[in-house]
Amino acid sequence: MMRYVFFFVIAALPFVKGCAPLIVGGAAATGVMVAEDRRTVGTMTEDQGIETKAASRITDSVKGDIHLNVTSYNRAVLLSGEVPSAAVKEQAGRIARAVENVRAVYNELAVGPVTPLSSRANDSVTTSKVKGRFVDAQKFNPIHVKVVTENGVVYLLGMVKRQEAADATEITRTTSGVTRVVRLFEYLD
């Protein structure tokens, strides 16, 4: 059996010759992003764990129809989406605050019906437009600003200098599809 697998891999190599540069290039691009991020690798890893734990714990505990996004940046958690009541919103905030290593929670959950998928698709387009405009403007490194869009409201997170925050806010504010900008930055100066 092993001989047949080996033969298949060798036979398939001519068809995947372009994959090695893609894999190596992807790894290099990830390395550049990590090197440019102002958070430590440990903090980035913690942020991923916080997002997973908070989302899992909240959805396991909360009753009712909810749409939940959990975003962690430098151990500060943004809760966005929709929940059926103020009590559920508070419960979600308490659960997020109880996750290990969380140092702040911005509970931006809206009380009301869950937004339709079309609204979420529009939010994804808006986030992409904002990020694209960050790149085009060349005023700061776009890796330093995390963009989250929820029902037309754009949340900006990151560890930035005040001028970077001002530039990011102005670019976001003037992007079509944006109804409001919420700055949740940590300032370095």
Which domain-ending residue is among 111, 135, 170? 111
**What is the domain count for the chain?**
2
Q: pLDDT, tens digit, for every residue of 165-185?
A: 999 999 999 999 999 999 999
For residue 121, what are its two tokens? 């698709």
Q: pLDDT, tens digit, for every residue of 67-106?
A: 999 999 999 999 999 999 999 999 999 999 999 999 999 9
- φ/ψ of residue 180, rounded to 5: -160, 150
Asked whether residue 99 falls in the same domain as residue 152, the answer is no
Confidence (pTM): 0.81
Look at residue 14 and tell me whether its pLDDT is greater than 60.
Answer: no
Asked whether residue 100 falls in the same domain as residue 121, the answer is no
pLDDT-derived band at 63 (thresholds 50, 70, 90) equals confident
Asked whether residue 126 falls in the same domain as residue 182, the answer is yes
**Domain of 170, in residue numbers:** 117-187
- Which helix (H) or strand (E) covers residue 147, if one does? strand 146-150
Q: What is the CATH number of the domain that holds 74?
A: 3.30.1340.30
Q: pLDDT, tens digit, for every residue of 30-43?
A: 444 567 899 999 99
Q: What is the CATH number of the domain that holds 155?
A: 3.30.1340
Nearest by Cα to 149 from 173, 175, 123: 123
| Residue 31 within any structural domain of the chain | no
Asked whether residue 123 falls in the same domain as residue 155, the answer is yes
